[in-house]
Amino acid sequence: MSVPRSSEPVDPAASPWHLLGSAVRHWREEVRHLSQREVAKAAYLDDGDLSKWERGLARPHADVVARLDSALGAGQHLVALHATVAELERLRTVATGPRAEEEIATERRHLLQLAIAGTLGAGSEPVRRLLGDAFGQEFRSVEDWEPVCADHLYALRTRPPAQVASDLLVDLLAVRRQSQTAPPTQAVELQRITAALASVEGNVLTRLGEHAAALRWWRTARQAADASGDLGLRLMVRAEEAGHGLYGQRDPEAVLRLVESAERIAGGPTADLLTTRSKALSMLGRHDEARGTVRALVALAAGGVKGDTFGFWKPDQIHFAESWVYAGAGDEAAADRARQQVLAATRDYQYDANVRLHEALCTVSKGGVDTGLRQAATVITTLPAAYRSHHIVQTGRLVLRAVPADQRGRRAVGEFRELLGTGAGAATA
């Protein structure tokens, strides 16, 4: 076996066919260490044609890809990816107008990104299934859609965000496709489902640090919720958008403006909006106002509050807000009580990690810089990289920002800043 020359790089994002070509080259050069001539001979192909396919300059037929897959021992990854690429090309003809063309193009780009992430790693089967599920199955009844959002929320709270993304997109594309042809009797309910799923997608993309895409899905969620006419849903979507905006997506002042806008729709403060207001005030260093908001939140909750029907917001999130606010203010006893209540109730790995980071925040706020940063580093590095969501890394940055200016030259500060600067091995799409 000869050692292959290193070929000119192929940009997998240039087109679906460039993606396929880069995958073939990856298997040939990096996995099997074979030359084009050796692979072409084994697969009964012309090595000139193989060169064109790898560079995305020509489109191989399915049976050619099957022979390449066999010659490279790719375990049907290349076959599945070819099917995905062919389906992506088919979507060019699906659009029926300028708006639809824009949406299809966005969906194709998202699918291509998912394919790039999977092809050189775990394989392209999830993306192939995504396309088949989203564009090839019969429509569901409204009743069948009802539990879907809860399923995705459960997955979001227990699985790495990158794993949740592709499964969620299956249902988002499917419900949007169904909404385009639904009779008026179903249209409103499908708008509700779209709003809920788009909110989960905004959450997922925020966890992955994909803020521009997340903002687009928050906008979709608002539009769908408004079209449904469901006031509770309209408020829930806006509260979700504002709350997740605190994790590096928006300035806290901008988040406060979102809260105020939602309160005008509601006719006054609501529990979920107060939790976000209190956290934003804490981030701005307005600790007295933040604690006053938490007290107002607890007083409101004493009159009886319940979560939304989809399961986004739950009353135990009041304790999470308390943990955040009291930790930021250095009120150790109150922060400890709130943290223990969250840990006793939550099954969400992200909440678990973040309230432990609140403990580190409180330690730093009380002057224990080295100890607090070591606590925070332990919380982050103990998590597998796939679970280190942007929310968790951003909460780590909240701990770092609490270090007084005259203490920022300490070794522990530099080490923790370096950990966060690398993204802490953060979860990515």
Q: Where are the domains of the chain?
A: 16-134, 326-429
Q: State whether the Cα torsion 68-73-74-75 is positive or negative.
A: positive
Strand (E) or helix (H) holding 111: helix 98-119
Q: How far apart are CA 55 and CA 11, in angstroms?
A: 9
- Tell which residue, 391, 200, 420, 397, has the closest CA to residue 310: 200
Radius of gyration of the chain (CA): 25
The tokens for 144 are 């069948």
Give the 3-state secondary structure of residue 203: helix
320 φ, ψ (degrees, to nearest 5): -65, -45
Q: How far is CA 335 from the centre of its chain?
A: 28
Q: How far apart are CA 350 and CA 398, in angstroms?
A: 15
- Tell which residue, 70, 53, 61, has the closest CA to residue 18: 53
Per-residue pLDDT of the chain (429 residues; tens, 9 = 90+): 455 566 777 887 777 888 889 889 989 998 889 999 999 999 998 888 999 999 989 899 888 899 999 999 887 878 878 877 776 665 544 444 444 445 555 555 555 555 544 444 434 444 444 444 444 455 777 778 888 888 999 999 999 988 888 778 778 878 887 887 778 778 889 999 999 999 999 999 999 998 988 999 999 999 999 999 999 999 999 999 999 999 999 999 999 999 999 999 999 999 999 999 999 999 999 999 999 999 999 999 988 888 788 888 888 899 999 999 999 999 999 999 999 999 999 889 999 999 999 999 999 999 999 999 999 999 999 999 889 999 999 999 999 999 999 999 999 999 999 998 865 545 554
**Which 8-state DSSP code applies to residue 295?**
H
**Side chain identity at 362, as an amino acid letter?**
C
321 φ, ψ (degrees, to nearest 5): -65, -40
Superfamily of domain 16-134: lambda repressor-like DNA-binding domains (1.10.260.40)
Q: What angle do CA 112, 113, 118 make, to 5 degrees?
A: 95
